[in-house]
Amino acid sequence: MKNNLIFSALVALMVSLSSIGIYSFYHNHGKVVKVEHISGTPSASAVYTLNNNGDPIPLDFNEPAKKVIDGVVHIKSTHLYAGNRRNFQFRNTPNPFRDFFGDSFQPFFRPGIPDNDSGQNPRNDQMPGRVGTGSGVIISADGYIVTNNHVVAEADDIEVTLYDNRTYKAKVIGTDPSTDLALLQIKEKDLPVVPLVDSDQTHIGQWVLAVGNPMGLNSTVTAGIISAKGRNINILRDKYAVEDFIQTDAAINPGNSGGALVNLQGGLVGINTAIASTTGSFAGYGFAIPANIVNKVIEDLVEYGSVQRGVLGVMIRNLDGNFVKEKGLLVSKGVYVDSLLGNSAAAIAGIKPGDIIVAVNGQSILTSAALQGMIARYRPGEKVNLKINRDAKEMDIKVVLNNREGNTELSSKDDRAILKVLGADLEDLKPETASKLEITGGVLVKKIYPGKLSKHTQMRDGFIITKINGKQVSSVEDLLERLEKREGGIMLEGVYSDIPGVYYYAFGL
User: What pLDDT score was predicted for residue 100?
Assistant: 36
User: What pLDDT score was predicted for residue 4?
Assistant: 54
Last residue of a domain, one of 400, 434, 461: 400
Asked if 190 and 71 sit in the same domain, the reply is yes
433 within domain boundaries: yes
C-beta neighbour count of 291 within 10 angstroms = 29
Residue 289 CB partners (closer than 8 Å, separation 6+)? 179, 180, 181, 244, 245, 246, 270, 271, 273
Per-residue pLDDT tens for 410-426?
876 665 667 777 888 88
Asked if 378 and 447 sit in the same domain, the reply is no
Last residue of a domain, one of 308, 331, 361: 308
Please give the DSSP secondary-structure letter assigned to residue 360.
Answer: E
Per-residue pLDDT tens for 279-321?
888 888 999 999 999 999 999 999 888 889 999 999 999 999 8
pLDDT over 60 (residue 326): yes
Active site residue 200: no
At 160 the three-state DSSP class reads: strand
User: What pLDDT score was predicted for residue 114?
Assistant: 33
| Dist CA 266 CA 273 (whole Å) | 19
Strand-pairing partners, residue 464, are 444, 495
Active site residue 277: no
Asked if 359 and 421 sit in the same domain, the reply is no
Would you place residue 386 in the very low, low, confident or very high pLDDT band (cuts 50, 70, 90)? very high
Asked if 345 and 247 sit in the same domain, the reply is no
pLDDT over 70 (residue 214): yes
Q: What is the 3-state secondary structure (H, E, C) of 432-485?
A: HHHHHHCCCCCEEEEEECCCHHHHHCCCCCCEEEEEECCEECCCHHHHHHHHHC
258 within domain boundaries: yes
Q: What is the dihedral of CA 111, 116, 120, 126, to 10 degrees?
A: -70
C-beta neighbour count of 201 within 10 angstroms = 13
Domains contained in the chain, number? 3
C-beta neighbour count of 425 within 10 angstroms = 21
Asked if 258 and 135 sit in the same domain, the reply is yes
Asked if 450 and 349 sit in the same domain, the reply is no
CATH number at residue 243: 2.40.10.120
47 within domain boundaries: no
Could you give the percent of the chain with pLDDT greater than 70? Answer: 79
Average pLDDT over residues 74-94: 56
DSSP calls for 135-149: EEEE-STTSEEEEEH
pLDDT over 70 (residue 10): no
Strands (E), 81-141: 129-138
Among the listed residues 176, 180, 300, 425, the single catalytic one is 180
Last residue of a domain, one of 244, 279, 308: 308
Domain range enclosing 292: 58-81+128-308
| Dist CA 470 CA 462 (whole Å) | 20
Whether 308 and 401 have beta carbons less than 8 Å apart is answered as: no
Among the listed residues 77, 135, 150, 178, the single catalytic one is 150
Average pLDDT over residues 207-220: 94
Asked if 324 and 184 sit in the same domain, the reply is no
Asked if 176 and 299 sit in the same domain, the reply is yes
User: What pLDDT score was predicted for residue 74?
Assistant: 97
User: The pTM is what?
Assistant: 0.72
Q: What is the 3-state secondary structure (H, E, C) of 233-301?
A: CCCCCCCCCCCCEEEECCCCCCCCCCCEEECCCCCEEEEEEEECCCCCCCCCCEEEEEHHHHHHHHHHH
Asked if 276 and 325 sit in the same domain, the reply is no
pLDDT over 60 (residue 383): yes
Window from 224-228, 260-264, 387-391, 412-416 with minimum mean pLDDT: 412-416
Among the listed residues 257, 306, 344, 454, the single catalytic one is 257
Active site residue 257: yes
91 within domain boundaries: no
pLDDT over 60 (residue 126): no
Mean pLDDT, the chain, as a whole number? Answer: 82
Asked if 234 and 277 sit in the same domain, the reply is yes
User: What pLDDT score was predicted for residue 21?
Assistant: 55
3 within domain boundaries: no
Would you place residue 88 in the very low, low, confident or very high pLDDT band (cuts 50, 70, 90)? very low
pLDDT over 90 (residue 55): no
Residue 344 CB partners (closer than 8 Å, separation 6+)? 312, 313, 314, 351, 402
Amino acid at 405: E
Per-residue pLDDT tens for 107-116?
332 333 333 3
Asked if 247 and 333 sit in the same domain, the reply is no
Higher-pLDDT residue of 344 and 99 is: 344
Nearest Cα to 424, choosing from 483, 504, 345, 354?
483
User: What pLDDT score was predicted for residue 110?
Assistant: 30
Average pLDDT over residues 443-470: 88
CATH number at residue 367: 2.30.42.10
Higher-pLDDT residue of 49 and 170 is: 170
Asked if 391 and 421 sit in the same domain, the reply is no
